[in-house]
Amino acid sequence: MTDAPADLAERLATMPPAPERAFASDNAAGAHPAVMDALVAANEGHALAYGSDRWTAEAEDRFRQLFGAGTQSFLVWNGSGANVMALATMVQQADCVVCSDWAHIAVDEAGAPERALGAKLLTLPTPDGKLRPEQLRSLAHLQGVQHHAQPGVVSLTQSTELGTLYTPDEVAALCDTAHDMGMLVHLDGARIANATAALGGSVATLRSFTIDAGVDVVSFGASKAGMAFGEAVVYLDASLASRAKYVRKGVNQLASKMRFVAAQFNALLHDDLWIRLAEGSNGTTAQLHAATADIPGLQFSADPQVNSVYVSLPEWAIKPLQDWCFFWDWDVSKHQVRWMTAWDTSPTDVQRFADGVRHLLA
């Protein structure tokens, strides 16, 4: 299985045409046309800076419609910024933030949370990227002891960094445990659209694993969902937002010409476009999995739940395939790679990709 076929050179020379779009990441895609049109349309005349504009007012309205009238949203530049801002408004002095050892905040933000918060991230082992209530309970012995940073905030990622999902009940159980222990709950929703699409595809779905489940603050991802840039921090418990506007500035997340973030949100949130686009990327990943599952030499870690699959390939096949149509390595020790689709990945892209993989491996 791990040996290259004798006719490898011939197979490579006769690869079918590559897909138009590669399978690197959902952030390799641009913005949806409706989003880009809205951004362009907002470039009209003068508007007061820093959020005192009509586009931002509309976006804040739209977020209240999504999550409830008592919630409060703040537009920001990017996902790391959203996470850091959210956490900075949630921690108390000497708190630590509890999260999965796969959490983006722990692994992929170059220490931004520790820098901005001056607080520890306490990572817990999660083979599937998901925290469990009993893991939180195991931290009780830290509470009240002066030598230990105090577990004050739990940060979940939905969908997770491993492409898995919490059910609404699982989120609720974590929130209940956390709140019982005096902790707050943050949800990193860099791919909240994919989670919403996968779990039901409606605003009610969104609410089921956020505000209804007891989450306190959400980082609402939009760059991966079809915007050019921009995310939001949404305070489901608005009482936590009292310092938010100052903290947003203090972590460099206040846009001067905020209308260009807001206008994109107004298009993306209109008529649930964000959910429809995520259904698309989830769907093309499912299609890709189905179209390749039987190819000899591929080992999928699990069936995809959202818009990524993790698959081990024969080592000799990885580089040639990446050269033909790029995707990222995931765990080189296992010859495992990640294939990810975006809102604009087409069925044709998927079919071509599957054809190419089959051509090389079968």
Single out the segment in contact with its own copies by CB under 8 A; choices: 57-65, 199-207, 252-260, 313-321.
Answer: 252-260
Contact status, residue 85 vs residue 74, Cβ threshold 8 Å: yes
Nearer Cβ to its own copies (65/348): 348
What residues from 277 to 336 belong to the interface with its own copies (CB under 8 A)? 326, 332
What residues from 58 to 77 belong to the interface with its own copies (CB under 8 A)? 77
Among 48, 140, 302, 362, which residue sits at the site for its own copies (rule: CB under 8 A)?
48
Site string for its own copies, 209-238 (x = CB under 8 A): --------------xx---xx---------
Locate 91 and state its tokens.
């921690």
Classify the phi-psi angles of 183: left when phi > 0, otherwise alpha if psi is within -120 to 50, otherwise beta.
beta
Among 56, 89, 157, 208, which residue sits at the site for its own copies (rule: CB under 8 A)?
89
| Alpha carbon distance 340, 31 (integer Å) | 17
Q: How far is the CB of 92 from its own copies (least distance, A)?
A: 6
| Alpha carbon distance 167, 212 (integer Å) | 12
Among 2, 9, 17, 43, which residue sits at the site for its own copies (rule: CB under 8 A)?
43
Nearer Cβ to its own copies (205/312): 312
Q: How far is the CB of 16 from its own copies (least distance, A)?
A: 19
Q: How far is the CB of 208 from its own copies (least distance, A)?
A: 28
| Alpha carbon distance 165, 54 (integer Å) | 36
Nearer Cβ to its own copies (213/218): 218
> If binding is defined by CB under 8 A, does position 99 make contact with its own copies?
no
Q: How far is the CB of 347 from its own copies (least distance, A)?
A: 16
Q: How far is the CB of 245 from its own copies (least distance, A)?
A: 4
What residues from 339 to 358 belong to the interface with its own copies (CB under 8 A)? 342, 344
Single out the segment in contact with its own copies by CB under 8 A; choices: 62-70, 109-117, 191-199, 308-316.
Answer: 109-117
| Total residues in contact with its own copies, by rule CB under 8 A | 81
Nearer Cβ to its own copies (1/110): 110
What residues from 147 to 206 belong to the interface with its own copies (CB under 8 A)? 147-150
| Alpha carbon distance 143, 48 (integer Å) | 46
- Please tell me the number of Cα atoms within 13 Å of 360 on its side-chain side: 31
Pairing of strands 150-157, 184-189: parallel
Q: How far is the CB of 250 from its own copies (least distance, A)?
A: 4
| Alpha carbon distance 144, 289 (integer Å) | 48
Q: Which helix (H) or strand (E) holds 316?
A: helix 315-324
Residues 6+ apart with CB under 8 A from 119: 87, 91, 94, 95, 96, 97, 113, 149
* DSSP 8-state class, residue 107: H
Locate 155 and state its tokens.
């940060």
Dihedrals phi, psi of 42, to nearest 5 degrees: -75, -10
Among 59, 99, 103, 116, which residue sits at the site for its own copies (rule: CB under 8 A)?
116
What residues from 119 to 138 belong to the interface with its own copies (CB under 8 A)? 119-121, 123
Count of CB atoms situated within 10 Å of the CB of 281: 27
Q: How far is the CB of 134 from its own copies (least distance, A)?
A: 12
For 36-132, where are the E strands, in sequence order?
72-76, 95-100, 120-124
